[in-house]
Amino acid sequence: MMASTSWHTEAPGPCNQPPASPTLPVPADTGLSMAEAQRLQRYHDRLLCAIAARDRAALREAKQGILQAAYWPAAANTGSPAWRRAVRTLSWQMAALLLPRGRH
């Protein structure tokens, strides 16, 4: 069984640093609360970091987290309708993200 990695306990690196400029959506424009916007940004950042690191396991874990947040039955009771719409949009955008197989 593979151990789950924590995004907060990894060694410092460019993907573990806060973004240089704010990239969060403005809650008034999207209907998201600031906490929801930050949570959505963390999901997005995990995807980008996994792609930048070319880490298949991290990419799969990030994608699974988004799918759980978007489609599991418990997801229907958490967050606002704007949150559910935003995370489902992100799930469709990330659906085609794959890393090419490396040659060993």
pLDDT digits (tens, 9 = 90+) for 1-60: 344 444 433 444 457 655 444 454 555 567 888 999 999 999 999 999 998 999 889 999
Tell me the H-state helices in the chain.
27-30, 34-53, 56-71, 81-94
Lowest mean pLDDT among 23-27, 54-58, 63-67, 89-93: 23-27
pLDDT of residue 23: 52
CB atoms within 10 A of CB 66: 23
Confidence class of residue 80 from pLDDT cuts 50, 70 and 90? confident
Helices 81-94, 56-71: axis angle to 10 degrees equals 150
